[in-house]
Chains A and B, each alone.
Chain A
Amino acid sequence: MSNMNLTLKIWRQKDSKSKGKMVDYKVSDISEHMSFLEMMDVLNEQLINKGEDPVAFDHDCREGICGMCSMFINGEAHGPDRGVTTCQLHMRMFKDGDTITIEPFRAKAFPVMKDLVVDRSSFDRIQHAGGYISVNTSGNTQDANALPIAKEAADKAMDAATCIGCGACVATCKNASAMLFVGAKVSQYALLPQGQVEATERVQNMVKQMDLEGFGNCTNTGACEVECPKGISLETIARMNREYLTASIKG
Chain B
Amino acid sequence: MSGLIKSSIARKVVMALSGLFLVFFLAQHFTINITSVIAPDTFNEWSHFMGYNGLVQFVLQPILIAGVIVHFVMGIALEIKNNNARAIKYNKYNGSANASWMSRNMIITGLVVLAFLGLHFYDFWVHEMSYKYIAGNPEDPTRYYEETVEKFEPFWRTVIYVISFVLLALHLWHGFASSFQSMGVNNKYKSAIQTFTKVYAIVIPLGFIFIALYHHLNPITH
Mind listing 20 A-B residue pairs with CB under 8 Å? A72-B92, A76-B94, A101-B91, A103-B90, A107-B85, A108-B86, A108-B87, A174-B93, A174-B95, A175-B82, A207-B7, A211-B8, A217-B78, A217-B82, A220-B178, A222-B98, A226-B98, A238-B181, A239-B186, A241-B184
- A217 near B8 (CB under 8 angstroms)? yes
A244→B90 contact, CB < 8 A? no
Please give, as numbers and ranges, the residues of chain A lying within 8 Å of B182 by CB-CB distance.
218, 220, 241
Whether A103 contacts B185 by the Cβ 8 Å rule is no
Write the nearest CB–CB distance from B105 to chain A, whole angstroms: 9
Give the complex CA separation of A22 and B182 in angstroms: 37
- Residues 62-112 of B contacting A (Cβ, < 8 Å): 78, 81-82, 84-95, 97-100, 103-104, 106
Chain A nearest CB from B196 CB (Å) reads 16
- The answer, yes or no, to whether B136 is at the interface (CB within 8 Å) is no
Which residues of chain A have C-beta atoms less than 8 A from B4's C-beta? Answer: 248
Against B, the Cβ 8 Å flags (1 = close, 0 = not) of A207-251 are: 110110011111111110011000000110111111111001000
| B9 shortest CB reach to chain A, Å | 5
B11, B98, B181: the one contacting A227 at CB < 8 Å is B98
Residue of B10, B11, B99, B184 near A221 (CB, 8 A) is B99
Cα(A202)–Cα(B97), bound, Å = 34
User: Which one of A109, A210, A235 lies within 8 Å of B8 (CB-CB)?
Assistant: A210
What residue of chain A has the Cβ atom nearest to residue B11's Cβ?
A: A217
CB distance from B150 to the nearest CB of A (A): 40
Chain B: residues with CB nearer than 8 A to chain A? 3-4, 6-13, 78, 81-82, 84-95, 97-100, 103-104, 106, 174, 178, 181-187
Contacts of B91 in A (CB 8 A): 9, 11, 22, 101, 103
Minimum C-beta distance from B33 to chain A (A): 30
B90 contacts A217, CB within 8 Å?
no
Scan A1-43; emit 1 where CB is below 8 A from any B CB, else 0. 0000000010100000000001000000000000000000000
Chain B min CB distance to A76 (Å) = 5
**Chain A at the B interface: mostly helix, strand, loop or mixed?**
mixed
User: Is A176 an interface residue, CB under 8 A from the partner?
Assistant: yes
A70 in the interface (beta carbon within 8 A): no
What residue of chain B has the Cβ atom nearest to residue A218's Cβ?
B12
The reply to whether the CB of A83 lies closer than 8 angstroms to some CB of chain B is no
The closest CB in chain B to the CB of A77 belongs to B98
Q: Say which size band chain A's interface belongs to.
A: 35 or more
- Quick check: B90 and A174 within 8 Å, CB to CB? no
Bound: A248/B3 CA distance, A: 9
**A172-B98, A217-B11 given. 13 additional CB < 8 A pairs?**
A72-B90, A80-B97, A101-B92, A103-B91, A174-B82, A175-B82, A177-B82, A177-B85, A216-B85, A220-B182, A238-B184, A238-B186, A241-B182
Which residues of chain B have C-beta atoms less than 8 A from A238's C-beta?
Answer: 181, 184-187
- Identify which of B6, B11, B104 gathers the most chain A CB atoms within 10 Å of its CB: B104
User: In the complex the two chains form, is B99's CB within 8 Å of A222's CB?
Assistant: yes
**A216 partner, pick from B13, B81, B98, beta carbons under 8 A:** B81
With a 10 A CB-CB cut-off, give which of A234, A238, A245 has the most chain B CB atoms. Answer: A238
CB of A90 closer than 8 Å to a CB of B: no
Chain A neighbourhood of B11, CB < 8 A: 217
Say yes or no: is A200 at the interface (Cβ < 8 Å to chain B): no
In the bound assembly, the distance between CA atoms of A226 and B211 in angstroms comes to 39
Instruction: Give the distance in Å from the alpha carbon of A98 to the alpha carbon of B35 in the complex.
Output: 59
Q: How far is the CA of A218 from the CA of B164 in the complex (A)?
A: 26
